Chains A and B, each alone.
Chain A
């Protein structure tokens, strides 16, 4: 069996064996273009590795837990993380590994290497795979070589690669991967070139940076950019970046680092005019060879130009609307980008949001006239919209901080549990845990005060208990948006809070004790391993990840407070309008309320208030016995299900029940400590329900489609948080009884 191919292996195998990139590099080398000599590890090696370790069906089980189309991106990311760890833990067959390492040594000796992905689908799949899979440079030593080959293979199963294949309609589980190995060229200057500008057929585009290409490719470093007339090769425009203060260089260990550039070098453009001419010549040679305009990557070292990659520019290229690769690529954020987001969120956005909230809270709504209230309501709608937009543009992307950390942790530590890293992120002061502490304090006061308990049982919070209790309630309300955005009828809120406090009196406060020591041990382990594995400061990465994790929960609470203020103004508006004898439907929108306040007449849909949902006979006929989701927090628990379809259902929730819910809103995570287990329809390891469940050591399954449809309040259910399986015992056992007696 042949696993590895070099330039001597004529005729060259096709792209199904060595991948599109591998084949192109072979052809370019044979044509005399200055390509660092390539060797290709064929897809047969991938097959052997996968079969040898029984990974094929493990991948199938991960990706077909439910229909990929029904999976949220987060769930696919989770599955990818698990698959990647399977690859890292698996061993390359001895004969195969020896064959690969021997061949590489024969060709390259001990030189540092570039190890790059080469997907067979790249040819003719109707989509480009550029940038979707991983490549590694400056790889040294047999152990690292073998590890990086496995990482390239595993990158076939990254979330973005899986989603993109799915998008292209490829049969995901049948994918395979070839690997290109080349000597690493330590470039002084690197860049890319389009031999034809996708936006202007008469031009060429050249971009260059000092040092290596990495920063340019992922957008971390702004390049110098030249537009060149194709016909006479004259430079039409040289666009300089704002500053050239950083560059990517080879790291002493392995890989690359982003470093500060020396002033003298930073003042100079990476290429002078003859330099530009040299790259243009190279580009034209490639174009001539392939007889089509090319998108190339190049580098220059010791005065020589090297061609790192070339691919044809497809019609319209990057601007083609049908190609969503760019979107899939955007699913990862660079470390630098995340650090910037972190600063922006903590230094600017959160304080601004809090200021807005304070301003809104200070307004005495009861004093306002209809017209004034309309103005105030409009201001609140606008603020709420603005912060919601910010939530999507800044807070959500910052959640990638946790992902990046998770990937680095797993690459460095190679733990048995792919989500072990979460333990390092928890145990910090999150607003939701602080809020739960306040609830516990209230519960302690209630436990010692029987008249307070009586009031709580009646759902009364106003003027009960002592000043200490009232202070805590007021702090709960003002700081943690427990007033449930969207609950509509605010009178329900007091009942829910009362019920929760009573439930918290039953909670064993020690159960919240976490494995602090374990977390510290993992932290030391991570620092030690990561120091050898990555070039960024592990402590800074961990701080960023912790901020990302914390803000992921807290941002909702912050933004929830703005929403709560909008809701409050709506309630005032309804009361005022009704006082003035105007008809207001309970479910009226905020905007329509404004119109009513401004004296406009609007059509109100009375039927919208009446939504009847009754269980049909057939729903009883089709029942789930076992439902499969994503294991999100370990442990097994059996309990009575409490299905939450509406906020009001929460007041019936009792300690020890299994919470079954569409999605735990961050403003309601304080229910979690009371639950025996949690089941969520929405999937993902990093959603709020999963985070809080891990925090409190409660079994949790996420991503069970139809959880709230197929499980009924009162069902006995067992939640297996190791495997992600929920077993439903039937509430009505009549038919079992019928079947239990022998029938003759």
Chain B
């Protein structure tokens, strides 16, 4: 891995680690739908996990079309955000987590959000893995860098 990629990874990880919440966007019949979600990421940046009620609209949307987008940012809701805030757009595909891989992802998720243990374990909750394809990092108002996470991503498809 060269310096550029390492640097990009570090910046993405820093942002993902410091933010507990992300905006998840799904869609149905062309109608976009955004929701605020607790999330956690894997160390290799290949996956982001979220949990939601099975009956929620976002979950229904994902069943229809698994392509999703997430937005994570570190804005402080002050004027200086325009020059100092960073935002990360994530593009990927959502899929249910298999039983055998669940313990690993559960550990990651609960480490970030220990207070959500009861919610995560509820039979009405579904635990979703988003296999990341692209990260787009926006900084200094207008700088946009794209990181294609891996060509192997499709192996999980």
Do A619 and B140 form a contact, CB below 8 Å, given A735-B134, A743-B65?
Answer: no
Q: Are B148 and A735 in contact (CB under 8 A)?
A: yes
Task: Establish whether residues A628 and B65, one from each chain, have CB atoms under 8 Å apart when the complex forms.
Answer: no
**B44 at interface (Cβ–Cβ under 8 A)?**
no
CB of B1 within 8 A of chain A?
Answer: yes
A232: Cβ under 8 A from any B Cβ? no
A623 touches B148 (CB 8 A): yes
Q: Does chain A have a CB within 8 A of B90?
A: no
A738 at interface by CB-CB < 8 Å: yes
CB pair A60–B2 under 8 Å, yes or no, is no
Contact with A along B2-23 (1 / 0, CB 8 A): 1011001000000000000000
Task: Please choose the segment from A61-69, A281-289, A373-381, A472-480 that sits at the chain B interface, where 4 or more of its residues have CB less than 8 A away.
Answer: A61-69
Q: Contact partner of A61 among B1, B67, B82, CB < 8 A?
A: B82
**What residues on A are CB-neighbors of B136 within 8 Å?**
625
Q: A621-B147, A739-B133, A742-B67 are in contact. Are A64 and B5 (CB under 8 A)?
A: no
Q: Could you mark each residue 106-145 of chain B with 1 if its beta carbon is under 8 Å from any beta carbon of chain A, else 0? A: 0000000000000000000000000001101010111111
Count how many pairs of residues, one from A and one from B, have CB atoms less than 8 Å apart in the complex: 88
A29-68 contact mask (Cβ, 8 Å, vs B): 1 or 0: 0000000000000000000000000101100110111100
Q: Could you write out 10 A-B pairs with CB less than 8 Å apart?
A: A63-B83, A618-B1, A621-B5, A622-B145, A622-B147, A622-B148, A624-B145, A739-B67, A742-B67, A744-B66
Q: Which residues of B contact A65 (CB under 8 A)?
A: 83, 140-141
Tell whether, in the assembled complex, residue A743 and residue B79 are in contact, meaning their CB atoms are under 8 Å apart.
no
Interface residues on B, range: 20 to 34
B157 within 8 A of A: yes
Kindly identify which residue among B8, B83, B143 contacts A626, using a CB–CB cutoff of 8 Å: B143
- The residue in A54, A620, A628, A709 that gathers the most chain B C-beta atoms within 10 A of its C-beta is A628
Bound form: Cα–Cα A626–B4 in Å: 16
Q: Is A627 an interface residue (CB 8 A)?
A: yes
Asked if A86 lies at the interface with its beta carbon under 8 angstroms from chain B, I say no
Q: How far is the CB of A120 from chain B (nearest CB, A)?
A: 20
Q: Is the CB of A618 within 8 A of B2?
A: yes
- The contact of B82 among A60, A624, A738, by CB within 8 Å, is A60
Binding site secondary structure of chain B: mixed
Q: Does A687 contact B (CB under 8 A)?
A: no
Across the A-B interface, give the 4 residue pairs with the lowest CB-CB distance, nearest first: A626-B144, A64-B83, A618-B5, A60-B83
CB A551 to nearest CB in B, in angstroms, measures 35
Report A728-744 residues with CB < 8 Å from chain B CB: 735, 738-739, 742-744
Is A364 part of the binding interface, using a Cβ–Cβ cutoff of 8 Å?
Answer: no
**How far apart are the CA atoms of A66 and B140 in the complex, in Å?**
7
| B145, A628: Cβ atoms closer than 8 Å | no
Is there an interface contact between B79 and A57, defined as CB atoms closer than 8 Å?
yes
In the assembled complex, A173 has its CB within 8 A of some CB on chain B: yes
Interface string of B57-94 (1 = CB under 8 A from A): 00000001111000000000001101110000001010
Q: Is B98 at the interface (CB under 8 A from chain A)?
A: no
| Docked CA distance A619–B150 (Å) | 12
Chain B nearest Cβ from A708, distance in angstroms: 13
* Chain B residues whose CB sits within 8 angstroms of the CB of A422 once the complex forms: none
**Interchain CA distance A623-B136 in the complex, whole Å:** 9
CA distance A744 to B96 in the complex (A): 12
Q: Is A173's CB under 8 angstroms from B2's CB?
A: no
* B133 adjacent to A735 (CB under 8 Å): yes
In the assembled complex, the Cα of A725 lies from the Cα of B140 at a distance in Å of 12
**Judging by beta carbons under 8 Å apart, are B65 and A625 in contact?**
no
Docked Cα-Cα span, A61 to B141, in Å, equals 8
Residue of B nearest to A742 (CB): B65
A705-722 vs B, CB cutoff 8 Å, 1 = contact: the mask equals: 000011000000000000
- Residue B43 at the chain A interface, CB threshold 8 Å: no
Q: Which residues of B contact A742 (CB under 8 A)?
A: 65, 67
Within the complex, the shortest CB–CB distance from A174 to chain B, in Å, comes to 10
**Given B80, B147, B157, which contacts A57 in the complex, CB threshold below 8 Å?**
B80
Q: Which among B79, B149, B154 has the greatest number of chain A C-beta atoms within 10 A?
A: B79
* Cα distance A123–B97 in the bound complex, in angstroms: 61
The answer on a CB contact under 8 Å between A739 and B146 is: no
- Please judge, given known A-B contacts A619-B2, A738-B154, whether A61 and B146 are in contact too, CB under 8 Å: no
CA distance A623 to B82 in the complex (A): 23
Q: Say whether A628 contacts B143, CB under 8 Å.
A: yes
Known: A61-B82, A64-B83, A618-B5. A624 touches B140 (CB 8 A): no
A340 lies within 8 A of chain B by Cβ: no
Is A723 an interface residue when CB atoms closer than 8 A count as contact?
Answer: yes
A619-B82 contact given A625-B145, A628-B140, CB 8 Å threshold: no
Residues of A within 8 A of B150 (CB): 621
A347 CB, min distance to chain B CBs, angstroms:
46
Which residue on chain A has the smallest CB distance to residue B80?
Answer: A60
Set of chain A residues within 8 Å of B4, measured between Cβ atoms: 618-619, 622, 709
